[in-house]
Each structure stands twice: as structure tokens, then as C-alpha cells.
Amino acid sequence: MLLQIAHEKTFFERGKKIARTADAGQPISEEKIISFEDPSDLLHLLTTARLALMQVVLERPLSITEIAERLGRDRSAVKRDIDVLADSGMVIVEEKPLPGHGRKKEVRPAAHSLRLEAVLA
């Protein structure tokens, strides 16, 4: 997954490149890109706490409670951060059955790696 600072022009250039690749009958590589026009929007999304949360989840999927324990944070604060990251498309939250009874919410990354890119000109 790529998080980048990019303008609308970059978005349309990428779309044209993908269209040319498809027109040529070539395979299109799968990628997930989240773009921000304003660098402050990216910084608002990726706080220090959320970045630490992402690093934990990139290691392996965990429940919200397990993440809170690993980070030494309050579960409700971790849940709020997970909601923000899920709304942005950076993590996926799935309900899974627990052995015996009950269910847990497992959090996993939307991609296997995260790359941050910012070019300010």
C-alpha cells in the first residue's frame, strides 16, 4: 500500500497509464494507493499512535484487545484509531468466531507493506 501526497494531475496520469497497459493486453499490477492533496491530511491520519498500531498489525493479524495490550494503550482508544484506519482503507476488521463460543474482531492490514511517499515542490 502506498500513502502519498499527490495532486489530481498525478491521479489522472496514473489512470491513463493503467488504461494504456490494459489496451496493450498487458497484465495490470495490483496496487493500493491512498493519495492526499494536502500533506496535513496525511499527518492527521497517521499519528504516531496509529503508525505504531500499523506496525503491530503488519506483523500479524490481532484482535483489538491484543493490539491494545501490545501497545500498552487503552482498548477504547485503540478501537477509535482502528475505526479511522479502517475508514481510510488501511486496515480490515473481520469478525471471527472464538473456539467454544463468542466472537472477536481481528484487525489485519489491507496490504502486506506500507510505503509513505511525499514530494513537496
**Domains contained in the chain, CATH given:** 2-117 (1.10.10.10)
Q: Give mean pLDDT in consecutive 10-residue pieces for the chain, a chain of 121 residues.
A: 64 79 81 76 88 94 95 96 93 87 89 76 64
Question: Residue 4: beta bridge partners?
Answer: 35, 117
Separation CA 46–CA 24 (nearest Å): 37
What are the distances in angstroms from CA 90 to CA 9, 25, 34, 115? Answer: 23, 30, 9, 12
User: Is 111 strand, coil or helix?
Assistant: coil
For residues 85 and 54, the answer to whether their CB atoms sit within 8 Å is yes
Report the pLDDT value the prediction gives residue 86, as an integer from 0 to 100.
94
pLDDT at residue number 82: 97
Say what angle helices 64-71 and 48-59 make with each other, to 10 degrees. 120
118 contacts 3 by C-beta, under 8 angstroms: no
Residue of 103, 104, 91 lying closest to 64 (CA atoms): 104
